[in-house]
Amino acid sequence: MKSIVKKTILKVKPYVPGRPIEEVKRELGLRDVIKLASNENPYGPSPLVLEAIAKGSKELNRYPDSDCFYLREALAKRLQVSANQLIFGNGSDELIALAVRAFVDQGDEVVIAKPSFLMYGIDSRIAGANVKAVALKNFHYDLNGMKKAVNEKTKIVFIGNPDNPSGMYVKEQDMRAFLKGLHRDILVFIDEAYYEYVNARDYADSLHLLKSNKNIIVTRTFSKMYGLAGLRIGYGVANAELIGFLNRIREPFNVNSLAQVAAVAALKDQTYYRGLARNINVQRQYLYKNFRELDLDFVESHTNFILIKTKDKAADVSQRLLERGIIVRNMGAWGLKRYIRVTIGTLNENKRLIKTLKEIL
Ligand SMILES: Cc1ncc(COP(=O)(O)O)c(C=O)c1O
């Protein structure tokens, strides 16, 4: 089949996800495994969400609502946007894929940061785009460099804010400077998967920027802080015309019914999630303190994960942790051969990580 498969696919390196706990248990014969590899919420969703899922499961014989009516209403109200400015996806991953499918033809260009979230490059390469990756500067976006990389062939610029794996955010003034003078026929895709974790006052207010920039789409997810990674649901906000284009190519039932009821319930329990975000902040400080004591360099993060510099090869360190029942991410696939990325876990999980790092380093 190689002779007939799309040529663009031959060049694509598949995404390698964090390994599932059960798989590691089976493979290594371990009983107690923790996963700090996929930036999930270690506490799980709010109890209101679990109730809503139990109730919703009685109607699994029906197709889901293709328009996500109740979620759309709730979110439009919360974000102060019109209902037709929203699109929902099977995770925010799907929205990246939809944007690329809608805007990028073979031979077009896409500008991303290096390293950044892998799906920007993967989806763009599948579409046959030439991907220009502009190196981060000290783990920050080089937006001047990215603007210089834009030319008449550029269709999309991806900005992860904060991005994965750096954990770094783009400041309001830098985002404004980037948008100023940028050709309006270029889609600026602002991926805010970790939006809920950012506390910085100068974090770019993308929904406000949307009002005067019709070429922006902002995406967020219920996978990270909302603890619904297993149900797959994310959303995008943009002007209604842009959303209309994405809707033309969206599968009719792309968001399952349990994800929809779960997301509606999650939005209602902000008290639970605010507490959870506070707790992640406390745990982040706990890890920083211990990394310093272990003389480990790390990148201060505005998310629920941290990049740690390793003296040995990251592949070896992550393997040693894996053998002791701790799944972390080896950053080799991102070109960071001396870094691992750890998701901030519960206090017990973090204690175990620190204890194990002490043993193996
Ligand atoms: C920066 C970034 N964007 C998007 C996603 C995709 O999230 P989901 O498809 O679960 O919404 C991730 C997941 O790791 C991410 O790190």
Q: What is the pLDDT of residues 101-123, one digit of tens each?
A: 999 999 999 999 999 999 999 99
Kindly list the distances between the CA atom of residue 169 and the CA atoms of 165, 202, 223, 250, 330, in Å, as whole numbers in the listed order: 11, 9, 19, 29, 22
In a domain, 54, yes or no: no
Q: What is the pLDDT of residues 185-223, one digit of tens each?
A: 999 999 999 999 999 999 999 999 999 999 999 999 999
Mutation test residue for ligand 1: of 36, 224, 302, the one with most atoms within 8 Å of CB: 224
Which of 236, 251, 268 delimits the end of a domain? 268
Q: 332 in a domain, yes or no?
A: yes
Question: pLDDT by residue (tens digit) across 227-283?
Answer: 999 999 999 999 999 999 999 999 999 999 999 999 999 999 999 999 999 999 999
Same domain membership, residue 236 and residue 122 = yes
Residue 51 lies in a domain: no
- End-of-domain residue from the set 268, 303, 324: 268
pLDDT score recorded for residue 15: 87
pLDDT class of 333 with cuts at 50, 70, 90: confident
Do residues 307 and 250 both lie within one domain?
Answer: no
Give the mutation target among 35, 119, 169, 344 for probing the ligand 1 site: most ligand atoms within 8 A of CB: 119
Q: Indicate whether 130 and 161 sit together in one domain.
A: yes
Q: Where do we find the tokens 């008449």? A: 152
Percent of the chain's residues with pLDDT above 70: 100
In a domain, 52, yes or no: no
Domain co-membership, 261 together with 275: no
Structural domain count of the chain: 2
Q: What is the span of the domain harbouring residue 90?
A: 59-268
Q: Do 20 and 230 meet the contact criterion of CB atoms below 8 Å apart?
A: no
38 belongs to a structural domain: yes
Residue 251: give its domain's CATH number.
3.40.640.10
306/256 same-domain check: no
Q: What pLDDT, in 10s, does the model give residues 122-161?
A: 999 999 999 999 999 999 999 999 999 999 999 999 999 9
pLDDT score of 17 more than 90: no
Structure confidence at residue 13 (pLDDT):
87
227 domain residue, yes or no:
yes
Q: Which of 268, 283, 317 is the last residue of a domain?
A: 268
**Residues within 6 Å of ligand 1 by CB:** 39, 91-93, 117, 160, 163-164, 191, 193, 221, 223, 229, 234
Do residues 119 and 240 share a domain?
Answer: yes
- Residues 120 and 106 grouped into a single domain: yes
CATH of the domain at 26: 3.90.1150.10
Taking only the tens place, the pLDDT of each residue in 70-88 is 999 999 999 999 999 999 9
Tell me how far apart the alpha carbons of residues 307 and 138 are, in angstroms, rounded to a whole number. 13
pTM of the model: 0.97
Q: How far apart are the CA of 152 and the centre of ligand 1, in A?
A: 29
Same domain, 264 and 286: no
Domain presence at residue 49: no
Residue 173: its pLDDT value, please?
97
Q: Which atom of ligand 1 is nearest to the CA of 223?
A: 10
Asked if pLDDT for residue 18 goes beyond 90, the answer is: no
- Please provide the average confidence, as pLDDT, over all residues in the chain: 96
> What pLDDT is stored for residue 115 in this prediction?
96
